[in-house]
Amino acid sequence: MTPPFHFYTQAHLVCLLGTKAKNAAELTEGIRKIPESSIYYHTHHFLRQHNYLSPEPTNDFAYWVSNLLGRRELGEALASVDIIRFKTLEELRAEFIKKLEKYNGRKGPVCEVPEGHEFHFMSCVTVVTPTNYQATNIPEFLEAMKNISVNSLYYHIFEARMRLANGANDFAIWLKNIGLEKPARLISQFDPYTITLEGLRERIIEIVGKYA
Amino acid sequence: MPEIKEYVDIVGQSVIDELYIFARHLQGKTIQNINSTPVGGGVAEILTRMVPLLRQLEIDARWDVIKGNERFFSITKSMHNALHGAAENISADDLEYFTQVNRENAAEINFVGDIVFVHDPQPIILIERKQELGKKWIWRCHIDFTEPDPNVMSFLKNYIEQYDAAVFSAPSFSRKLAIPQVLISPSIDPLSDKNRELTDHEIETVLNRFNLDRSRPIVTQISRFDYLKDPVGVIQVFKLIKRYADCQLVLAGGGATDDPEGAKVLEEVNAAAADDPDIHVIFLPPSSDIEINALQRASAVVMQKSLKEGFGLTVAEALWKGRPVIASAVGGIPLQITHKYSGILTYSIEGTAYYLKQLLNDPEYAEKLGANGREHIRNNFLITRHIRDYLMLFISLYHDEDMIYLG
């Protein structure tokens, strides 16, 4: 008996931590102290907020450093952090700190933003609930994939892999469990951070559609 | 009032389906909104639309308004200005009177809500009933809190920290507080009379009524007559560019029952505009939504030259209509406009004049800004996103964890 795939959806409540940074050193200290949910928020929220833009904007740390602090080289280093390589948020936090510390160790004047342009640390509360969609076979899976919201897609791809530390996205895990190793592998191979959510939907349907 | 399903054509079926899915988890809860004015200004406008829509999602949403006299609203206006950083003289007597009026209201209001949702500083002291009544209490700050007067802030902080959560419209408004703080941007309703599509005939009728010439570009600022909206600054901008562009300026807006300063500002604006027949100062009564809609749609450029801004919903309104917008980089406006991508952000009268001249001379570029702006509003600042955020906020009050699983 094939275990059914239950589609969930999620929504975020954005929380303000009341702390801010005006230079790279304060950003580093902030990243060191903020909760994991804040690391997650600043490296993922752009995926949902700008899901119609491609290429998508980068993570918040890189955006602020490049566009407000005006440190393009550091901004590029932070933008190039390859989020898909990291399995946990703590590993991701350590990578950002490593890049920032390398920059902070250099000699030269300290660059600061004027008042009003500081980096504001935020986090998020995620509320998850089941949808009416479930699949016991590939045709049902494909039908649901066409109709679920981008929030549901986001949950099973991003929340599952990074925040719930499942190691892979939920779709790949389910496909593997029902014996479809190849599409499972193909889906877990592509980098979802470089594709819009609608692009992801199309690609998953295309891959799984071959096994309908 | 539209049915919630009518929003499907604008935001998609799945967005509306999910509102119902999340709202199910709040059935049986009463949400009681309390503010200080039933009409005028952004808060009343949002509540007018939000409360009926929440009810359609089968949430028992209600709305009460506190009572106050001229002295009370004069004090709250001074507090409002002081929170925006202006130098105001608020005496200990004033604060005592403010407290007394709040307590009178607190004694009169029937607190039926499971969640009491208090909007802005005017009714903030109602929180004194929390200890006796229990319930969940939220304080929603709709104003620019970037540089608040420390004395007024210190007075309010004692009350803010008694709430279960505080809600702000922009990240820069957050402070070090002992309670959770949440970011929820306000929104516009695309189906309201202020934002729905209009026919050419409807637009023409409004322009004729106000003696505007559609053959020449119209530059518009829609906002209450309030110093913080800098209407006289807008006239200065217009005078700087007038020699290069044959255009008209419209300054249109109304007042709010909790803003006693409006008449004085209007007088100053009329005086500044007196020598130029191309400057049209239009005082609009509260029920002027179609007029505002038509003026925005007929504009070549919409301005919002505020000195301070809680959020600046008029920016979202104009962007939703695909109009190019030049606005000050204050409050929540930078959340709505990415400079040179979905509008123009400025910092001075001269800078605003420079960009206004550019947009009037390059309508193709101006149209592109407007089109990008419309998509940004569709994705982030429509009332359906606002409802979802409120549902998340209400649900989160009953949970401590940052991943909440609902059955």
User: Do A17 and A116 belong together in one domain?
Assistant: yes
- Which of A13, A128, A151 is nearest residue B405 as measured by Cβ atoms? A128
Query: pLDDT at position B311, please?
Result: 86
Give chain A's domain count. 2
Last residue of a domain, one of A65, A94, A123: A123
Least confident of A1-10, B132-141, B366-375: A1-10
Do residue A129 and residue A88 come from a single domain? no
By the 8 A CB rule, do A86 and A165 touch?
no
Q: Do domains B4-187+382-396 and B200-380 have the same CATH topology?
A: yes
Share of chain B above pLDDT 90, in %: 80
Pairing of strands B325-328, B344-346: parallel
- Which chain B residues are closer than 8 Å to A127 by Cβ? 22, 392, 395-396, 404, 406
Query: Residue A149 and residue B18: Cβ atoms within 8 Å?
Result: yes
- Residue B188 pairs with which residues in a beta bridge? B382
Please tell me which residue of chain B has the smallest CA distance to A124. Answer: B402
| Run of H or E residues at B159 | helix B150-160
Residue A49: its pLDDT value, please?
60
Integer Cα distance of B388 and B45 in angstroms: 18
Q: Is the domain of A183 the same as that of A110?
A: no
Chain A partners within 8 Å of B401 (Cβ): 125
Tell whether B180 is within 8 A of chain A (Cβ). Answer: yes
Judgement on whether residues A42 and A112 belong to the same structural domain of the protein: yes
Pairing of strands B165-168, B218-222: unpaired
Tokens representing residue B397 in the block: 């009050």
- Is A84 an 8 Å CB contact of chain B? no
pLDDT tens figures, B284-339: 998 899 999 999 999 999 999 999 887 888 999 999 999 999 999 988 898 899 88
Cβ distance of B176 and A149 shorter than 8 Å: no
Q: How far is B92 from chain A (nearest CA, A)?
A: 29
CATH of domain B4-187+382-396: 3.40.50.2000
pLDDT value at B107 more than 60: yes
Using CB atoms, pick whichever of B12, B18, B399 lies closest to residue A9.
Answer: B18
Q: Which of residues 126-155 of A touch B (CB under 8 A)?
A: 126-131, 147-152
Same domain flag for A47 and A103: yes
H helices of B226-362, in order, are: 231-241, 262-273, 289-297, 313-320, 333-336, 349-361
pLDDT of residue A196: 80
CATH 3.10.20.30 fits B200-380, yes or no: no
Q: Which residue among A16, A19, A127 places its CB closest to the CB of B406?
A: A127
For A153, the domain range is 5-9+124-209
* Whether residue A115 is found in the same domain as residue A17: yes
Mutate to test the interface with A, among B8, B18, B26, B375 (most CBs of A within 10 A): B18
How do beta strands B248-253 and B279-283 pair? parallel
pLDDT value at position B261? Answer: 81
Other residues' Cβ atoms within 10 Å of the Cβ of residue B359: 23
Instruction: Please check whether residues A107 and A145 belong to one and the same domain.
Output: no
- Look up tokens 């819009």; give the residue: A196
Pairwise CB contact (< 8 Å): B404 & A128: yes
DSSP annotation of A113 reads P
Identify the pLDDT of residue A55.
Answer: 47
pLDDT tens digits for range B170-183: 888 888 899 999 99
Confidence of residue B85 (pLDDT cuts 50, 70, 90): confident
Q: Are residues A138 and A111 located together in one domain of the fold?
A: no
Count Cβ atoms below 10 Å from residue B261 Cβ, excluding itself: 19
Cβ of A51 within 8 Å of Cβ of B393? The answer is: no
Same domain, A80 and A179: no
Q: By the 8 A CB rule, do B334 and B185 touch?
A: no
Instruction: Establish if B25 touches chain A: CB-CB under 8 angstroms.
Output: yes
Are B171 and A37 within 8 A, CB to CB? no
Taking the C-alpha atoms of residue B137 and residue B117, their distance in angstroms, rounded to an integer, is 6
A135 shares its domain with A159? yes
Q: Over chain B, what is the mean pLDDT? A: 93
| Interface A-B: count of C-beta contacts within 8 A | 96
Q: Check whether residue A69 and residue A104 sit in a common domain.
A: yes
Which comes out higher in pLDDT, residue B114 or B84? Answer: B114
Note whether B397 and B136 are within 8 A (CB).
yes
Query: What's the confidence (pLDDT) of residue A105?
Result: 85
Q: Do B174 and A14 touch (CB under 8 A)?
A: no
At residue B309, the pLDDT reads 85
The alpha carbons of chain A give a radius of gyration, in whole angstroms, of 19
What residue ranges do the domains of chain B occupy?
4-187+382-396, 200-380
Minimal-distance CA residue of chain A relative to B403: A126
Q: Among A150-154, B39-43, B56-60, where is mean pLDDT lowest?
A: B39-43
User: Same structural domain for residues A180 and A150?
Assistant: yes
**Which of B17, B171, B392 is closest, CB to CB, to A16?**
B171
For residue A12, give the chain B residue with the closest CA: B392
Q: Which range is least confidently modeled, A171-175, B133-137, B198-202, B320-324?
A: A171-175
Do B402 and A126 lie within an 8 Å CB cutoff? yes
Chain A interface mutation, best of B11, B392, B396, highest count of A Cβ atoms under 10 Å: B392
Strands of B325-328's sheet in order across: B279-283, B248-253, B218-222, B301-304, B325-328, B344-346
Low-confidence stretches of chain A (pLDDT < 50) are 52-55
pLDDT by residue (tens digit) across B335-356? 899 888 899 999 999 999 999 9
ipTM tops 0.85: yes
Tell whether B379 lies on the interface with A, counting CB pairs under 8 A: yes
**A123, A150, A177: which is the final residue of a domain?**
A123
